[in-house]
Amino acid sequence: MNVKESLSQVVINTIEELYATTISQDSINIQKTRKEFEGDFTLMVFPFVKISKKNPDITAKEIGDSLKNKLDYVESFNVVKGFLNISLKHTFWLDFLQKESKNDTFGHRTPSENTSPILLEFSSPNTNKPLHLGHIRNNLLGDAIARILTANGKNVIRLNLVNDRGIHICKSMLMHQKHFANETPQSTNTKGDKLVGKYYVAFDKQYKNEIEQLAESGIPKDVAEKKAPILLEAQEMLRKWEDEDKAVRVLWQTMNQWVYQGFDLTYKRLGIHFDKTYYESDTYLLGKKIIEEGLKKHVFYQHEDGSIRIDLQADGLDEKILLRADGTSVYITQDIGNAVLRYEEYQPSQLVYVVGNEQNYHFDVLRLILAKKLAYPWANRLFHLSYGMVELPSGKMKSREGTVVDADDLMDEMVAMAKQKTEELGKTTFSDAEIDELSETIGLGALKYFILKVDPKKNILFNPDESIDLNGNTAPFIQYTYARICSLLRKSTEASLPLTTVDISRQDTEKEILRLLYAYPETIETASEDLNPSLIANYIYELVKVYNRFYQETPILKEENQALRLFRLHLSAFTARTVSDAMSLLGINMPERM
């Protein structure tokens, strides 16, 4: 039981003893004391004033007296306008440091046995283009959330649904077939996903030219967009694919393999992995079957144009096509089938989709159809983790126009920037190989941290120069602090000696660090519950910022009092390990030298 739980239980008992009233745990609000006030934890007393029938300050004092009498670790308290600020004895913090600094799993919960898993779907790329900056946010969010949930004792299964079929894939296939049939990744010395992405851009260019030509001949633009010959050819290729035309299927398999090999290289460099990968080509027919069964039961209806639809206007949404008139499926069809398949396979406690906020409506429709129209009782376990877009100073990215920031190019740029800064700092003690490794660690760490420190719900304006800065809320600043502590510990001959009794009652900055360290397990728990890695990122920054102030203002190796010197060394080592562990939850490596 941690301090907040212990305090809460004693407050419940005290309220019952003092005022003959039983209260619930939910009515108790205990937070870390604000910096401008004296104390470690603060209890909001206002909810109890009606019970005590006394003013807030008197009520707070009566509760404070009881807490001090009942809890031997409470040193003192003070009351400020109805808030009870509680100070703990310095021995409490020493005991905490003594115990947890040796705990290799500090902050982590042991996984519960036989618990239903949480299915976490992320990445979900299309096989018509390489991964780009938007995909990076998706992958980094998914990976970090999986790590954080696991640290909080959850059984997490990482899923990837590859969109390997459909009209977009046929567009790239058609352009290869018509104009680039002799090209391969080997012959062009090009990463496979980038090569296929080139064809997708080429299709869009030809499509726009054909629309323009049709419009010039007097055909309305909206009609031209549907009648452009190149689009009709792509639609015909999709129909052939669904009819299992041999030549189309061979081309499809060949080009998809090029893309998968490219994806794997990008995933490996980002440190991303999956426990299971689904392919739409294997699962889309299940969705069609469910839609056809729903049609027979009059859950869905057939429109006069031959498509199968559902009218959701009474539920505040629109009419939704589930199967096109030609019998081909759409994304919602496939997601319905995949959701049913996954539930049957895993019986998960929750199915989380990490997908951008542009798809909010899609997931509203998916939940509504599964829960209300098809009456699957487990459908309320679906959760859409909707995240904001990543934008550039030049504006929004568009894959079909070739204006995206390629993920591989971005990683190369970040590593190159890190290498330049490292060389500018004159790290002459590093070999070329060590500089390359360090640059990779700093560059990718900067990218990951910049993305993950922002609340998922918010948009990001990505700024590479800002992300690589050695000052401020950046990964390089945190990595440098970690390396600084590692250097400090290497220089010390006493770092491994046991902690001894020392009076730290006047060591305010050290106690601030200890309070932050104490908050680490709760931070992981909250980040897990909220599916929000930014809580971890900003916790790390706050801890590192306070430690840097301590490092600059306080003698450590030069401290003459051995007990205090040992305490500061242990505190530094505990801080470094916690920072490293927290950064690992974001998928970021930490260098011991910078």
Distance CA 67, CA 76 (A): 9
Could you tell me the CA-to-CA distances from 533 to 4, 505, 524, 583 in Å, in that order? 23, 34, 9, 10
The pLDDT of residue 403: 56
Query: What angle is formed at CA 38 by the lines to CA 91 and CA 542, rounded to 5 degrees?
Result: 85
Sheet of 156-162, strand order: 276-279, 156-162, 118-121, 350-356, 382-387
- In this structure, what token pair is assigned to residue 45? 């007393």
Digit-coded pLDDT (tens) for 350-374: 999 999 999 999 999 999 999 999 9
Identity (one letter) of the amino acid at 80?
A: V
- Which candidate, 339, 551, 537, places its Cα nearest to that of 456? 537
Q: What is the pLDDT of residue 37?
A: 92
| pLDDT tens column, 159-168 | 999 999 989 9
Element (H, E) at 574: helix 562-585
pLDDT tens for 319-339 read 999 998 888 778 899 899 999
Q: Has residue 399 got a pLDDT over 70?
A: no
Distance CA 491, CA 485 (A): 10
For position 428, what pLDDT does the model report?
A: 66
- Is 382 strand, coil or helix? strand
Q: How far apart are CA 321 and CA 309, in angstroms?
A: 4
pLDDT of residue 498: 87
Q: Is the pLDDT of residue 376 over 70?
A: yes
CA distances from 181 to 172, 177, 199 (A): 12, 5, 11
Domains of the chain with bracketed CATH: 3-88 (3.30.1360.70), 122-401 (3.40.50.620), 407-585 (1.10.730.10)
Kindly report the pTM of this predicted structure.
Answer: 0.92
1 confidence band (pLDDT: 50, 70, 90): low
Confidence of residue 402 (pLDDT cuts 50, 70, 90): very low
CA–centroid distance for 318 within its chain: 31
Region 450-463: what's the mean pLDDT?
A: 94
| Terminal Cα-to-Cα distance of the chain (whole angstroms) | 39
Q: What tokens were used for 53?
A: 């029938």
> CB within 8 A of 590, min separation 6: which ones?
441, 445, 479, 482, 483, 579, 580, 583, 584
Rounded Cα gap, residues 327 and 306, in angstroms: 9
pLDDT of residue 397: 39
Inter-residue contact 354 to 122 (CB < 8 Å): yes
Interval 272-300 mean pLDDT? 92
What is residue 400's predicted lDDT score, i.e. its pLDDT?
45
Calculate the average pLDDT of the chain. 93
Q: Which residue has the higher pLDDT, 304 or 391?
A: 304
d(CA 117, CA 561): 51
Name beta bridge partners: 84: 43, 79
56/47 Cα distance (integer angstroms):
9
User: Which alpha helices (H) appear in 86-153, and where do they start and end?
Assistant: 90-100, 133-151
Q: Check whether 489 has a pLDDT greater than 60.
A: yes
Phi, psi of 196 (to 5 degrees): -65, -35
CA-to-CA dists, residue 577 to 85, 520, 530, 544, angstroms? 30, 12, 24, 12
User: What is the pLDDT confidence band of residue 44, given thresholds at 50, 70 and 90?
Assistant: very high
Note the maximum CA span of the chain.
Answer: 91
